């Protein structure tokens, strides 16, 4: 039995159904079986981690549990030839942090098929400033750019100061798209303009409460991260043959629409699922995030915290109060 100890955030459920989050010592032997043991250098906080850390059974079925859907670090042990001890790797998605102990611990053990070599052009730290949110922004831009060129008109990005939104604004601006960023934060404009947004508007300007089937066309496409009325409004106000991506539900999981945007304007609604993204596309998107999509503002969009500071940030992300990305340094 491997009794080496490490620190991890452990979420526990009390007999009266209260969920607590405490940094505790764990042993390597507590980790599940797997081919690759990774010494985690950095993780990051995603919305899904906050759901896991607060007892959301759709994300995590059993507690005690260590969340963290993102991890980047150095391979400590490997049972397969193409992943070697000492390799720098990124592990995101699949079951990491959901029902498999995740990146909010100093070690993870995972199947080799979940492991992505750290792409050339990114440090471990930069890969986790991006993390699942940045990867999802990359997948969304990948989808959007197949249908809508920068000269077609403005692109709407919703939940723009969030993790996915911030990275999407940065990549789109870098590619020459005119970005209209939607934010509910009163102080969002300087932040989003620095990331490259052309215009910043409030949520009320993209919330149609009259259930009209179609609205005046205003955008060539949209990257939506919030769902609900804002996503429905984005679809109803996209120009003919435009494309709207959908990845999240922080506002609502409901989508109240008629078929008219699709049959009268040829709009495409593209679902984004980072968790089950096939490995060839996963590596392609990571390579672009490290290369021609690498945003200059990675330093500006993140705050770095220690494991012990996670609990407070988990509450803040659930309340939609965070801006950008929260990087977790596992060595602090």
- Which residues of this protein are in contact with ligand NAP, per CB under 6 A? 46-48, 132-133, 136, 159-165, 183-185, 188, 203, 225-226, 230, 247-251, 272-275, 317, 320, 322
Report in angstroms how near the CB of residue 84 gets to ligand NAP at its nearest: 29
Contact between residue 119 and residue 287 where contact means Cβ atoms under 8 Å apart = yes
CB of 15 to ligand NAP, least distance (A): 29
| Shortest spacing between CB 224 and ligand NAP, in angstroms | 9
Please report how close the Cβ of residue 50 comes to ligand NAP at its closest, in angstroms: 8
Nearer to ligand NAP, 123 or 303 (CB): 303
Quote the least distance from Cβ 85 to ligand NAP, whole Å: 30
Kindly tell me which of 212 and 321 has the beta carbon lying closer to ligand NAP.
321
Nearer to ligand NAP, 178 or 246 (CB): 246
Of 226 and 289, nearer to ligand NAP (C-beta) is 226
Tell me the residue nearest to ligand NAP as measured from the CB: 162
- Nearer to ligand NAP by C-beta: 7 or 203? 203
* Shorter beta-carbon distance to ligand NAP: residue 118 or 226: 226
Report in angstroms how near the CB of residue 164 gets to ligand NAP at its nearest. 4
């Amino acid at each position: 039995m491997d009794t080496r100890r490490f620190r991890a955030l452990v979420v526990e459920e009390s007999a009266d159904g209260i969920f607590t989050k405490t940094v505790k010592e764990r042993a390597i032997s507590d980790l599940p079986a797997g081919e690759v043991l990774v010494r985690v250098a950095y993780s990051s906080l995603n919305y899904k981690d906050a759901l896991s850390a607060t007892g959301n059974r759709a994300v995590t079925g059993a507690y005690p549990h260590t969340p963290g859907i993102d991890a980047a670090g150095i391979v400590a042990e490997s049972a397969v030839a193409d992943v070697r001890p000492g390799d720098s790797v990124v592990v995101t998605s699949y079951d990491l942090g959901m029902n498999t102990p995740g990146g909010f611990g100093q070690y993870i053990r995972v199947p080799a098929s979940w492991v992505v070599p750290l792409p050339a052009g990114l440090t471990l730290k930069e890969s986790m400033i991006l993390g699942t949110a940045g990867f999802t922004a990359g997948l969304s831009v990948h989808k959007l750019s197949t249908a809508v060129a920068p000269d077609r008109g403005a692109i709407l990005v919703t939940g723009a100061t969030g993790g996915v939104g911030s990275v999407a604004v940065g990549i789109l601006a870098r590619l020459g798209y005119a970005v209209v960023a939607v934010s509910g934060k009163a102080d969002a404009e300087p932040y989003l303009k620095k990331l490259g947004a052309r215009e910043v508007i409030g949520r009320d300007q993209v919330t149609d409460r009259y259930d009209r089937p179609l609205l005046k066309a205003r955008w060539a496409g949209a990257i939506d991260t919030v769902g609900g009325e804002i996503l429905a409004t984005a679809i109803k106000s996209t120009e003919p043959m435009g494309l709207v991506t959908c990845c999240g539900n922080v506002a609502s999981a409901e989508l109240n629409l008629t078929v008219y945007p699709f049959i009268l304007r040829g709009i495409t609604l593209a679902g984004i699922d980072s968790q089950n993204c096939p490995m060839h596309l996963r590596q392609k998107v990571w390579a672009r995030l490290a290369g021609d999509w690498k945003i200059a503002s990675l330093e500006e969009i993140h705050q770095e915290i220690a494991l012990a500071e996670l609990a407070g940030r988990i509450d803040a992300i659930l309340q939609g109060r965070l801006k950008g990305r929260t990087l977790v340094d596992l060595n602090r």
